[in-house]
Structure 1
């Protein structure tokens, strides 16, 4: 693990594995995904970048001038440059996927592909976005009951003895982590991808401009990303491949990482054929 000194912050990153496909991910913190992609049978080189503002990266008293998601995207590129990585697959979960959408829009030349996990750009109607849920967590950041309630909403419904037990462990761990945040960490609200888009149709028009291969992995029980938001990405991003899990919610990366990893490995194999055929899917 290494800390890279950047403008205004130190950013912590770690490399896992040494496979042929280079995968970079950024987030406030990491569970088993995407590190599982470095293990057999997936065998990728995985670089995890802790977003500035959290953990071992520098904590900030105020949001970056560029906005959280764009700043985090710039930090990912800085780490890639430092490691001599010209092109890579970016994957992220939730707010981490938001970073990827910003990279795909503003720096498509750096991405082989984007793998978005429960992170399609949010609806602009209703109050289901991560910014709303995050706002409530920020407001009640020292109240375990408030934090727990929001994580239960975000996770979405599940059932079955084993899955319910796993959900309880997931929520317990998330609440515990949030309650140990510094004040700077606890008050970060990253917002949503493409904040200038005021309507769902404006989001759709931006999605139509994405010019990198995209795999979107979504849970239909997600309390953050609605099925409509997931389908918007599936139908408006050119060439997007989408896998929609009816029985998963927002915590699929924590609760069933291997289920995601299998889809990613298949996509990477398909991506190799796409590249060999000059941008045509086999």
Structure 2
């Protein structure tokens, strides 16, 4: 565990494992994914970067001038530079995936690939569950009943005794974490990726400019990222790969980390073949 002093903030990061594929992730906090990728049978090197504004990174009274997602992306690159990592696979969940989409657009030369978990850029039609839900969470940040209600909406539908028990643990943990936030942490609202796109058509045109290997993992029961959002990215990003899980929602990275990690391992093997074949999928 290390803290890197940057302009305006100290950024906390941790390295897991020492395998061949190097993955970097950033988020407000982490569950089992992506550090699980450092373990057998995945054997990757994983660097987790706590986003500025949260946890052991510096808390901020005001949003960064660059905007949250772009600033978090620059912090990821600063950690990579500090560690001597030239190119890497970026992976993230939800807002953490949003950081990756911004990196893929602004700094594609630094990424071997992007692995987005329940994090394709949001729909622009109407007031989405993400934008409305995040505002509600910020407004009612000290109200456990409202927090629980919003997390149930975001998680999406599930069923089965084991899954329902796991969902209850997930929601209880999220409520506790948010109630423990400092006031600065609780007020962070990063917004949508690519806010300059005001329509879905404008968003699709931005996605079409992304020209690196992308794996998108999406849950069709997600209360934040709609199936239409996942399909938009799948259709707009050339040669991307999308895996849709009918029975998963927004918390699949926390609730089924091995299910996510298995798909990542397959993609990393495909990526190595793509690179050895001169940038062509076989």
TM-score by length of 1: 0.99
TM-score by length of 2: 0.99
How far the C-alpha of 1:211 sits from its partner, in A, is 1.2
How far the C-alpha of 1:129 sits from its partner, in A, is 4.6
User: Separation in 2 of the partners of 1:132 and 1:87?
Assistant: 36
CA contact (8 A) 2:25 2:92 kept: yes
Compared CA separation, residues 193 and 163, structure 1 to 2 (3 A): same
Give the secondary structure class of the aligned counterpart of 2:218: strand
Alignment match, 2:158: 158
How far the C-alpha of 1:34 sits from its partner, in A, is 0.3
Where do 1:193-204 residues align within 5 Å?
Answer: 193-204=193-204
Alignment root-mean-square deviation, CA? 0.6
Structure 1 portions without partners, runs of 5+: none
How far the C-alpha of 1:132 sits from its partner, in A, is 2.2
Alignment match, 1:242: 242
How far the C-alpha of 1:128 sits from its partner, in A, is 2.3
Alignment match, 1:64: 64
CA contact (8 A) 2:59 2:185 kept: yes
What stretches of structure 1 move > 2 A for 4+ residues in a row?
A: 126-132
User: Separation in 1 of the partners of 2:234 and 2:129?
Assistant: 18
User: Separation in 1 of the partners of 2:177 and 2:167?
Assistant: 15
User: Separation in 1 of the partners of 2:71 and 2:129?
Assistant: 20
User: Separation in 1 of the partners of 2:100 and 2:134?
Assistant: 19
How far the C-alpha of 1:269 sits from its partner, in A, is 0.2
User: Separation in 2 of the partners of 1:231 and 1:21?
Assistant: 27
CA contact (8 A) 1:123 1:129 kept: no
| Matching of residue 36 in structure 1 with residue 36 in structure 2 | yes
Structure 2 portions without partners, runs of 5+: none
| Matching of residue 109 in structure 1 with residue 109 in structure 2 | yes
CA contact (8 A) 1:204 1:236 kept: yes
Give the secondary structure class of the aligned counterpart of 1:25: strand
CA contact (8 A) 2:63 2:188 kept: yes
Give the secondary structure class of the aligned counterpart of 1:124: coil
CA contact (8 A) 2:129 2:154 kept: no
Alignment match, 2:15: 15
Alignment match, 2:78: 78
How far the C-alpha of 1:114 sits from its partner, in A, is 0.1
User: Separation in 2 of the partners of 1:22 and 1:131?
Assistant: 32
User: Separation in 1 of the partners of 2:129 and 2:121?
Assistant: 9
How far the C-alpha of 1:260 sits from its partner, in A, is 0.4
Alignment match, 1:179: 179
Alignment match, 2:96: 96
